[in-house]
Structure 1
Amino acid sequence: MSVEQSVSPPRARGFVAAMIAMGAMAVTVFLGLPEIVGQMARQWGFSESVLGLIVFADIVGNTVGALIVAFYLGRVPVRWTLAGSVALAVLGNLLTPFAPDAAACMALRFLAGLGSGGMSGVATRYLSYTRHAERDLGLMMLGQNLWSSLLLALLLPATGQWKGATGSFQFTAAVLAVFLLLIVYFGRKEALVHQGAETRSASGLVSPAHALLALGAMLMLYLGAGMVWTFVERVGKDAGFEHGFISNSLGAANLLAMPACALAPQLMKWGGLRLWSLVLLAGCGACSVGLGWLQSPVAYAGLVAGFLVTWSAAAVLLLATIPRYDAVGRYATLGPGVLGLGFGLGALVAGVVAEHSSMPLALALAGGACGVAALLYAVLHHVPLPSVRPLNQDPRPEPVSGPHQATSP
């Protein structure tokens, strides 16, 4: 349900496209993790568990940034929120290569993540207000896949050859700095939360139970994704595949995921949101487990592509679920933080499990997380909807007129 006309002022042309671009590119480090993690390992010699902690710190920053935007900066002018978020993201990425040790690196990654999460929260919040929220959120996911393809196949390998992980973080800072220009789209005193949105929330147009179950399913999906995607490069390396083949496989997988994202909204017409979400979550889990039993380069390329296609399409459908139960966009704003938290926890768990046990076990756990996501999503559709009354309607029942008028006891 859209509340664009009620809660948002008219926007300049290109506003939605700008929000989609910011939502897609604010998470540049997140999208490029397979390459960036490898660059950090080669340049700074970090172990798997330390790399998992660094990724986790980055993702926790994303989560905290989105939470702050959703619950504490609603009355602050959006210009200040966006400018502060961009500044933190740029500063954190520029300073990361100069960290003297792993602890300082984690602190700086948290700072950068805080800014990226704030940027993502602003973008997702405004996209949830649009007339076609499901389509626009899907386009944001499509943009993330396109950007990830360019990062993994071309841009990050080039910056890695130039200056290693240092070049990749400096490149990220330059990209994110551009979004400071978007402050011109917002009024000087415009706040993120409008009175109309709060009125609709108070009128019962938000179902917290359904929105939270959808967010829980997304958390578990990205928990599994974090286990797989953070170390998917190492999986190929351990299997004996060349680095060029691995990079090309990741880039091709992202290219295949783009039409999957574009077609995801159509799947709701062909078989229903529930059916396809469950099918995609099951497929994501199966591909995760399959990566632990590689036998050939063809199997690796196919399973990576299958995993990314099902993961991306499932994420689009889960994101499209939230606006159905959240007319004001507050829970949608939490989306980037929840996704980041799940991914960060997955990276942390996978790093520890891979170092102290085995990578196939970590991949099997990822498959289990996808199964839990499917279970939560199935439960969501069996929870009864709350009663909803029109805006400004008196909640008291109308009196019965005529000779049969009810009398009070």
Structure 2
Amino acid sequence: MTKRSQFVPIVGTGAAAAMIFNILPFFVGRAAEAFGLSDGAAGWLATTYLAGFGVSSVSAPLWLHRLGKRALGRLLFLSAAVLLAAGGMIASYVAVLGVLLAVGLVLGGLYTMSFLLAAEHPDATRALGVKLGGEVALGALLLALLPTLIYPAFGFSGILGALAIVLVSVSACTHFLPQHALETGNASMDHAHFAMPASAGLALGALFLFTVGQASVWSFVERAGARAEFDASAIGGVLSVAVLFGGVGSFLAGALSDRLGKAMPLAGAASLYLVAMALFAFGGQFWFYAGAVNLFFFSWLFALPYLISAIAGLDDSGRATSLVTASLAFGSMLGPAAGGELLERGGFLLLYFSGSLVTAAAYAVVLGMAVRQRLVPRRSE
């Protein structure tokens, strides 16, 4: 397999597994309309899906190695597609919750698989950047097509059906997977005395907090525009462009890799994030809203490869890396529910303040490690 073809399954598995999260503001907004949900209930709908995603992510290292990569990938793609297609035929909110929980369980395994494939690449930072860029490219395409072509004609059930079709199409990437099984690092996980370094555990906690803060805001970005009475099609356009802008951030992180170290890129991302939150809170006008959404998603996906590769650099055993997806999944799971509760209790200002506080703390932890310990970037083999 050529070096370029190695990226095909990395990008394909990641993009398919992350697509619901990347369209989450639109997904939550349309579900709220379809079922007449409050902000809190809409947040819990997203959390139900992400709960399945998180449980699967935690357990995935225990079972992903039991099948060959190609067979495993095809099984996960097909299972998720069938579940979403079935969900599109159900009109009950409770039944859809069950379907989303099951889909989360399947796609959590697929997302862990994508991270392990990226971790096998000689340049992990670049592989992660390209992977995340591919994920948001698919998300941007869906945000451009679903609000204009699918939802007006077929409603929320049409969204689920369209996502099933996407999964079947993207499953072609499994052709580029080898037959042998994934290396999941179980050997180190089976021996409790091979504990990961405390610094790696702290960095994983920071990644969890970072994801909680980001997901709590991202889940309600569409609702923020709607409450401000901005045009619905304009909001959809902003979300689509923002996801593409996030892809630019991921690809830029992959291109830069560790040329500037980790501290400088992370400090830049944190600065852009704070500007975005100020625009969200105090901008008021549509163009401030559009700028905030784009800066928010760019800073998020530019920082993420550096945060993940920093964790990998702190633990040579690979045990911490195997828990990255769990940190992302459980952070994403808690974020929407927390965001919905904050909205109901104090409105968007409380949401933005709380999200900023949590995310800034996460940045401070990893930046402190990067400056004090001078994290060594992975070398290409």
1:174 to 130, 150, 165: 165
Determine the C-alpha separation between the residues in 2 that align with 1:248 and 1:54.
24
Q: Structure 1, residues 213-267: CA drift from partner, whole Å, max 9, x if none?
A: 3332222222111111111011111112111211122222223333322222455
Whichever residue aligns with residue 159 of structure 2, its letter is S
Establish whether residue 95 from structure 1 lines up as the match of residue 86 from structure 2: yes
1:115 shift after superposition? 0.9
Larger Rg over CA atoms:
1
Distance 1:242 1:17 in 2: 37
| Aligned equivalents of 2:262, 2:62: Cα separation in 1 | 29
* Alpha carbons of structure 1 residues 250 and 385: separation in structure 2 relative to 1, 3 Å: closer
User: How far is the alpha carbon of 1:187 from its aligned partner?
Assistant: 5.8
Give the counterpart letter for 2:129 in structure 1: G
CA contact (8 A) 2:127 2:254 kept: no
Map residues 9-408 of structure 1 onto 2, 5 A cutoff: 14-99=5-90, 101-181=92-172, 184-185=175-176, 190-193=180-183, 198=187, 208-265=197-254, 267=256, 271-327=260-316, 329-381=318-370
Aligned mates of 1:128, 1:210 — CA distance in 2: 20
Deviation at 1:63, TM superposition (A): 1.4
Deviation sequence 1:13-72 (CA, Å, 0-9, x none):
723322222212221111111111121122222221111111001111111222222234
Describe the superposition over 1:105-140 as per-residue Cα deviations: whole angstroms up to 9, x where unpaired.
Answer: 222111001111111111110110112221111101
Amino acid at match of 1:191: A
- Opposite residue 293 of structure 2, the aligned amino acid is V
Instruction: Give me the whole-angstrom Cα distance separating, in 2, the residues matched to 1:385 and 1:242.
Output: 47
CA RMSD of aligned residues (A): 3.1
2:140/2:243 contact within 8 Å kept: yes
Q: Distance in 1 between matches of 2:259 and 2:206?
A: 22
Cα deviation, 1:307-327, whole Å, max 9, x if unaligned, reads: 111111011211232332355
Greater CA deviation, 88-97 or 240-249?
Answer: 88-97
TM-score of the two chains, using structure 1 as the length reference: 0.81
TM-score, with structure 2 as normaliser: 0.87
Question: 1:46 is aligned with what amino acid?
Answer: L
Q: Which amino acid aligns with 1:44?
A: F
Residue pair 2:242, 2:298 contacting (<8 A) in 1 also: yes
Q: Which is helix-richer, 1 or 2?
A: 2
- Structure 2 gaps, min length 5: 376-381
TM-superposed deviation, 1:337: 3.2
Separation of aligned partners in 2, 1:265 and 1:11:
19
Output the amino acid matched with 2:132: M
Separation in structure 2 between the aligned mates of residue 20 and residue 206 of structure 1, nearest angstrom: 31
Conserved 8 A contact 2:262-2:370? no
